[in-house]
Amino acid sequence: MDEHLAANRANWDDRAAAHAARDGLGYRVERYVADRDRISDVVAFDRERLGDIRGVRAVHLQCHIGTDTLSLGRLGARVTGLDFSSVAVAEARALVAESGDAGSVDFVVSDVDGATTVLGTGGFDLVYTGIGALCWLPSIERWAGVVAALLKPGGRLFLREGHPILWTMDETLDDDLHLRHPYFEQETPLSWDDASSYVATGRPLTATKTYEWNHGLGEIVTALLDRGLVLTMLVEHDSVPWEALPGQMTERPDGEFALAERAGVAPLSFTLQAEKPLR
């Protein structure tokens, strides 16, 4: 594993423990134990676009501590969550054991690039991923190759992700929108050093260095088309499920954050679906 991925993994190990702590902060995972019908806000947002997934064999790439993964399980899918953070996967396994979801949900530790080594090829009706996932991957072309390889013929990718326009914005400003970071994928990552996370945590992080890559919307679509997938949905949204631009957003009742002023001036996230043709 190269130095960027190693630093990112240390940061995610650190974050996973903080996000899963039963301290009323982080992802507040105790809600999924207390209410066995609870679906995460992220999965609920796309429920209509997701459709009926009962009986579907799904993989959730970059599943983190498993809250969206178990939500897909609660909608009837048989889901395998994959994440390169062994701490995140341990937390996810503990959560589904406690919440009663272990029958339909399991987890593997792997880098996205190694997904077919642990999960094989052509085994999944659904690849689900997103919300702060693609920005951790250096190559959108490699990612698209993994997605295409995991899918059965006739299977589909479901991606809800922060919009690449959002990732260009300077999140340190609390009174203006300013394009600061590259829109297109660059070989050299953006580097950060930050002891905080995107949700409140009970303690500061200690593994603070991270590296991220943006991928333009055209680059994402083209990478999927180049792998033979057929685009079936691309919807841009004016909201995201976390406070991406602190000080400039208001939270909606569904857990989505939109710009407080000038809502709709820019797309903040998108939902994309693509199918692997039957032949």
Ligand X SMILES: C[S@@+](CC[C@H](N)C(=O)[O-])C[C@H]1O[C@@H](n2cnc3c(N)ncnc32)[C@H](O)[C@@H]1O
Work out the burial of residue 70: count CB atoms within 10 Å of its CB; fewer than 13 is exposed, 13-18 middle, 19 or more buried: buried
Among 8, 104, 168, 214, binds ligand X (CB under 6 A): 8
Q: How far is the CB of 70 from ligand X (least distance, A)?
A: 11
Please give the structure tokens belonging to residue 198: 């995107």
Spatial CB neighbours of 50, under 8 Å, sequence gap ≥ 6: 43, 75, 158
Q: For residues 67 and 178, which CB has a smaller minimum distance to ligand X in the complex? A: 67
**Is residue 88 at the binding interface for ligand X, with CB under 6 A as the rule?**
yes
Neighbour order of strands in the sheet with 124-130: 105-109, 78-83, 57-61, 124-130, 151-162, 269-275, 230-237
83 binds ligand X (CB under 6 A): yes
Any contact of residue 99 with ligand X (CB under 6 A)? no
Residue linked to tokens 């943006």: 214
Query: Binding marks (x or -) toward ligand X, 118..157, rule CB under 6 A?
Result: -------------xxx--xx--------------------
98 versus 111: smaller Cβ distance to ligand X: 111
User: Could you say which of 14, 68, 106, 256 contacts ligand X (CB under 6 A)?
Assistant: 68
Residue (61 or 274) nearer to ligand X, CB: 61
Angle between helices 140-150 and 217-226 (to 10 degrees): 40
Taking the least distance from each CB to ligand X, the nearer of 112 and 150 is: 112
Give the E-state strand segments of 6-137 in sequence order: 57-61, 78-83, 105-109, 124-130
Number of Cβ within a 10 Å radius of residue 15: 24
Among 32, 45, 84, 128, binds ligand X (CB under 6 A): 84
269 is a site residue for ligand X (CB under 6 A): no
Q: How does strand 239-240 pair with strand 257-259? A: antiparallel
The binding site for ligand X (CB under 6 A) comprises: 5, 8, 12, 62, 64, 67-68, 83-85, 88, 111-112, 131-133, 136-137
